[in-house]
Amino acid sequence: MKERKQILTADDIRRALVRIAHEIDERNGGLQDVILVGIPRRGVPIAERIASAIADFEGVQVPVGQLDITLYRDDLRMRGTAAQMHKTSIQPDITGKTVVFVDDVLYTGRTVRAALDAIADLGRPSCIQLAVLIDRGHRELPIRADFVGKNVPTARSERVMVHLRECDGADEVLIERTSK
Amino acid sequence: MTTDSQRRRHMIDLDDVDAEEIEEILTTTESMKEVLSREMKQVPALRGRNVVNMFFEDSTRTRISFELAARALSANVVSFSARGSSVEKGESLIDTVRTLQSLGADVVVMRHGESGAPYLVARHFHGSVINAGDGRHAHPTQALLDLFTIRERLGQIRDIKVVIVGDILHSRVARSDIWGLTRMGANVTLCAPPTLLGQHKYWLHTWPGLSISHDLDAAIKGADVVMALRLQKERMQAGLLPSLREYTRAYGITPERLAQLDERTLIMHPGPINEGVEISPEAATSPNSVIEAQVTNGVAVRMALLYRLAG
């Protein structure tokens, strides 16, 4: 039996992202060197929403890029099939800039590790930060987020599902438990 | 997305590749092209994998293209040609493959003069086999790079009109392009002298959207793509052609025919070119020509395939 529970509503998601937008602004005192880099798929629309929140209250358009990490994963061999790739496009040059990675869920930390390798091949940012909508714990690497929408204690057997208008038709975060 | 059980191990011909998979390969190719546009043209996807290029026929561009592709994915690459190898001492193809296997090859990229040789190799090799051209049979990576180049330039493949002109009979490129283009919904006209066309009745039956012409001037009217094939000069000695000059007059992409083409019609050629025979220098270097783009895209297409097979 699979049991799903909603842990964030559309309004909760909106508020969390606006708060993250303010925190990014605060932390980086002005935003002239900040680039938001979404990790496909769902990190990309989240990055765009954070940028539009920043535009609303600061009147500044922060650049948004996306970074595909498929070719940098450490579990390529463990998966049955070669994962379908996404596009990488980041403008302007990241060297000397503050890059903020944006993803939906932080879990083992392996995606972020791959993203750190991938970004290093594109240039040398002066600083890299991490923003996630959900931190569900269970890190396997020494990685932490700078900006978190919501900390959700989970068991490894549970699934956290982030649904976004852009990819899934509606905004909500669900947790799925499999009970026997 | 393909699941584990459907995962492709070899790429020998496009006859067993459906439109959906071709589409996935072309999408992956776009990502690989972005990697190649970086200053740092290397990603770690195939780190620690061994790719062996086994070429029993001469090749410059295909071999270098595969080498660069494998290196851009961080694989270890070894290339060997039959000349100077144990093949000259009489080692059989199967023995050679078993040796490569024992040496730890994960992927064998092979070109061979005999049609079907890669199937034999695939039966005796536990890794992946990529066909880089076998006899008159197939050259799937060339067809995929042609498809990618067409889609990149024209925005679509479905319903476009492609004329393939030249030595269809001996051309593995033509064979693979026919499979790929018709699978993706293009209309393909083969244009050749009757002696260089082969069993065309059989082909018409196999591929919907395929037609035959012996009149290039008529065929190129309204064409979106005109693809010339290399004419091997030996064909003349075999009595299949009266003379090169006559061939050029009837089937060459001459400056006169270039002038008849729409400005957005693509001119393609798998290379190497016999300038002045199947294609004039004016046509090969005209704004219509995408011959250089084909070569560039070849590396990205081969990266996509290596990644999908061995990644």
More confident residue, B237 or A32: A32
Q: Do B28 and A81 touch (CB under 8 A)?
A: no
Give me chain B's average pLDDT, please: 92
User: Per-residue pLDDT for A38 more than 60?
Assistant: yes
How confident is the model at residue B243, as a pLDDT? 87
Could you report the per-residue pLDDT of A3-37, keeping only the tens digit for each?
999 999 999 999 999 999 999 999 998 798 999 99
Query: What is the Cα Rg of chain A in Å?
Result: 16
Q: Omega into B208 within 30° of 0, i.e. cis?
A: no
How far apart CA B289 and CA B225 sit, in angstroms, is 10
DSSP B196: G
How confident is the model at residue B31, as a pLDDT? 93
More confident residue, B237 or B195: B195
User: Per-residue pLDDT for B91 more than 50?
Assistant: yes
**pLDDT-derived band at B2, boundaries 50, 70, 90:** very low
C-alpha closest to that of A108 among A139, A78, A131, A135:
A139
- Residue A114 with chain B: CB contacts under 8 Å: none
- pLDDT average, residue stretch B300-306: 97
Q: Which of A71, A84, A89 sits opposite B43 (nearest CB)?
A: A71
Alpha helices in A28-124 (DSSP H): 43-58, 110-120
Give me chain A's average pLDDT, please: 93
How confident is the model at residue B281, as a pLDDT? 96
Size of interface A-B (CB pairs under 8 A): 54
How far apart CA B135 and CA B127 sit, in angstroms, is 22
- pLDDT average, residue stretch B212-220: 96
Among A73, A85, A87, which would you mutate to test the B interface (most chain B Cβ atoms within 10 Å of its Cβ)?
A85
Could you report the per-residue pLDDT of B54-75, keeping only the tens digit for each?
999 988 889 999 999 999 999 9
- pLDDT average, residue stretch B137-143: 97
- Residue A121 with chain B: CB contacts under 8 Å: 38, 40, 42-43
Residues 6+ apart with CB under 8 A from B65: B295, B298, B299, B302
Alpha helices in B77-154 (DSSP H): 93-102, 117-123, 140-154
Residues 6+ apart with CB under 8 A from B190: B164, B165, B168, B174, B178, B197, B200, B203, B210, B211, B212, B213
Could you report the per-residue pLDDT of A44-80, keeping only the tens digit for each?
999 999 999 999 999 999 999 999 999 998 876 555 5
Distance (Å) from the alpha carbon of B143 to chain A's nearest alpha carbon: 21
Q: Does B153 touch chain A (CB under 8 A)?
A: no
The CATH architecture of the domain made up of B140-294 is 3-Layer(aba) Sandwich (3.40)
Could you report the per-residue pLDDT of A84-139, keeping only the tens digit for each?
788 899 988 999 999 999 999 999 999 999 999 999 999 999 999 999 999 999 99
At A147, list the tokens: 């900006």
- pLDDT average, residue stretch B189-215: 86
- pLDDT average, residue stretch B276-298: 97
**pLDDT-derived band at B6, boundaries 50, 70, 90:** low
Q: Which of B4, B73, B308 sits opposite A80 (nearest CB)?
A: B4
Lowest mean per-residue pLDDT among A9-23, B57-71, B187-201, B273-287 = B187-201
Q: Does B120 touch chain A (CB under 8 A)?
A: no
The dotted CATH code for B4-139+297-310 is: 3.40.50.1370
Among B34, B36, B37, B42, which would you mutate to test the A interface (most chain A Cβ atoms within 10 Å of its Cβ)?
B34
Q: Do A81 and B31 touch (CB under 8 A)?
A: no
Its pTM stands at 0.90
A12-74+87-154, what's its fold? Rossmann fold (3.40.50)
**pLDDT-derived band at B4, boundaries 50, 70, 90:** very low
CATH 3.40.50.1370 domain locations along chain B? 4-139+297-310, 140-294
How far apart CA B311 and CA A83 sit, in angstroms, is 9
Q: Which residues of A touch B (CB under 8 A)?
A: 68, 70-72, 76, 80-82, 84-89, 117-118, 121-122
Q: What is the ipTM of this complex?
A: 0.81
Q: Which of B30, B40, B311 sits opposite A82 (nearest CB)?
A: B311
Q: Which of A87, A121, A122 sits opposite B31 (nearest CB)?
A: A87
User: Per-residue pLDDT for B90 more than 70?
Assistant: no
**pLDDT-derived band at B204, boundaries 50, 70, 90:** confident
Among B37, B308, B309, which would you mutate to test the A interface (most chain A Cβ atoms within 10 Å of its Cβ)?
B308
CB burial of residue A65 (10 Å; 0-12, 13-18, 19+): buried
At B74, list the tokens: 């961080």
How confident is the model at residue A76, as a pLDDT? 64
Q: With H, G, I as helix, E, B as strand and everything else as coil, classify residue B200.
A: helix
C-alpha closest to that of B179 among B12, B7, B9:
B12
Among A71, A84, A116, which would you mutate to test the B interface (most chain B Cβ atoms within 10 Å of its Cβ)?
A71
Could you report the per-residue pLDDT of B12-43, keeping only the tens digit for each?
999 999 999 999 999 999 999 999 999 999 99
